[in-house]
Amino acid sequence: MASPPIRIELRHLATEREDAQRDLQETLVALEEKLLPQRAVRRLVSRHHAGLVLFGAGAVGAAIGFSRSPTRGGRAAALVAAAAAGAVFCQLGRRT
């Protein structure tokens, strides 16, 4: 009642694993280059007007800063800053 032995062959598994690891590493390096904040900001500023980028970043900061204001004026300022930031980044998006 003994069953015949099962033979499992693993051919080329080591080379396929090494190739997959190398491809993954290359992909991660490429993503890291695109996603690093310093390089992303440098690319954004070099492709667009630096003043516009800085204004947009300042508007985002102001919107975040004013968003927790307990006063009606502070919340209005947050809304205006958010609208300005949206307009700037919409304009930047059109230029790419």
Q: Is 82 left (phi over 0), alpha (psi -120 to 50) or beta?
A: alpha
Show Cβ contacts of residue 96 under 8 Å, excluding neighbours closer than 6 positions: 47
Q: Report pLDDT digits (tens) over 10-36.
A: 777 778 888 888 999 999 888 877 777
Q: Distance between CA 60 and CA 89 in Å, rounded? A: 10
Element (H, E) at 34: helix 13-35
The angle that helices 50-66 and 37-47 make with each other, rounded to 10 degrees, is 130
Q: Report pLDDT digits (tens) over 59-78.
A: 988 998 888 888 999 889 99
49, 85 in Cβ contact below 8 A?
Answer: no
